Structure 1
Amino acid sequence: MFNLQEVEQQLRTILGELLAAYPMGSKQILVLGTSTSEVLGERIGTSGSEQAAEVIFRVLKEFQSQHLFQLAFQCCEHLNRGLVVERETAEMFRLEEVTVVPVAKAGGSMASYAFNHMADPVVVESIQAHAGIDIGDTFIGMHLRPVAVPVRPSIRQVGNAHVTMAYTRPKLIGGARAVYQNTKMNSSCT
């Protein structure tokens, strides 16, 4: 049985854990891929739920208002996994807008709900987000920066949907002789 209060609590738990592992602010993007069908316990793309989307959107917006990160909602494969963002986010990160309006059957219930409830939404084709949450195995990896670090949540599901999370870090380059900390700032001896 689908329990909205349980979904809300599960999402609050995993968001808290992700933000504890990787604190985000206004210069970071959190990408969210969601199958509301999977949240309900159905096969991805078969039983989208505006009710589930509303709960997920509301909780994300609450956390966003506290931490100020930017949000991106991944569309389904019918829109080539485009992303719904606020126009301000698209402008800040110089993301190229595309012309489409997500609907439940072409974009998915979550992206459609976000598009209809954001202040000034646009759809962009691609993004390089700083962190992501994948609810229902929607494959958000293409929207993360190159070096993703998995975050293992204490709970592995939201509703009935499997959850994975990651944040990103800069690449480590240079090999065995490379220095990865600023020694000028960390050195007390000269």
Structure 2
Amino acid sequence: MKNNQVISLREQVGLVLRELVEVAKLGPGKLLVVGTSTSEVVGERIGTSGALEVANELLAGIEEVRNEFGFLVTYQCCEHLNRALVMERTLLDELRLTEVAAVPYPKAGGSMASAAYRSMDDPCLAETVEAHAGIDIGETMIGMHLRPVAVPLRPSIRYIGEARVNTAYTRPKMIGGERAQYVLERSIQEENESHLCD
């Protein structure tokens, strides 16, 4: 069931993002990828009715939460720019990414990427990232920019505006077989006594 629009888009995205921040433990040094179809938010098919005013309201909500928790953020462009990512140049340099040459516009890049680009001090685009978590508003397919292993997190509200919303966080790959441990509970002496491996 869709939201009843009692709360603003800014509040809706803030609510969803705060839930993700808590579970994903997003904070300084952690990267969030945001994918958004403003067309879907206003109830139209993705890629048909982009709306900068909607993008700006969502951007304000995301930035409010980002400023509170200190995580890093990048915004995914639409398929016309191969889902490249808008970010501050300082982040591009910090992550040692390769810049790609494009400027997103609502009809080539998407309204959200366009609004984000224009809000930044020194914006640029990179082709790909490996984010710690993501929010997907309108089924824009952010999975290609998440680290393995992605874990879906269903937010308490399932729509932002008219667009379905999903979030995900990532965890390290678990390696090893049946003897593998993932929490340090015993001393090395106890471990050696219980399993002789060498």
User: Amino acid of the residue matched to residue 20 of structure 2?
Assistant: L
Q: Which runs of 5+ in 2 are unaligned?
A: 191-198
- 2:124 corresponds to: 122
1:153 alignment counterpart? 155
* RMSD of equivalent CA atoms: 1.7
Q: 1:50 to 1:3 in 2, by over 3 A?
A: farther
Displacement of 1:145 in angstroms is: 0.3
Among 73, 91, 95, the residue aligned to 2:97? 95
Asked if the contact 1:17/1:153 (under 8 Å) is kept, the reply is yes
State the match for 1:73 in structure 2.
75
How far did residue 61 of structure 1 move? Answer: 1.1
Q: SS state of the match for residue 177, structure 1?
A: coil
Quick check: 87-96 or 46-55, which moved more?
Answer: 87-96
How does the TM-score come out when normalised to structure 2? Answer: 0.89
d(CA) in 2 for partners of 1:66, 1:7: 18
**How much identity, in percent, do the aligned residues show?**
52
How does 1:16-165 map onto structure 2 within 5 Å? Answer: 16-165=18-167
Greater Rg by CA:
2
Once residues 37 and 5 of structure 2 are traced to their aligned partners in structure 1, the CA distance between those partners, rounded to angstroms, is 16
Calculate the TM-score normalised by the size of structure 1. Answer: 0.93
- Shift of the 170–138 alpha-carbon distance from structure 1 to 2, 3 Å rule, reads same
User: For the structure 1 residues 3 and 52, does the alpha-carbon distance in structure 2 shift closer, same or farther, using more than 3 Å as the test?
Assistant: farther
Secondary structure in 1 matching 2:8: helix
Instruction: Identify the residue that residue 10 of structure 1 maps to in structure 2.
Output: 12
- Deviation >6 Å, runs of 4+: none
CA–CA separation in structure 1 for the residues paired with 2:59 and 2:126: 19
CA distance in 1, matches of 2:166, 2:118: 26
**Equivalent residue letter for 2:135:** I
Name structure 1 gaps, 5 residues minimum.
none
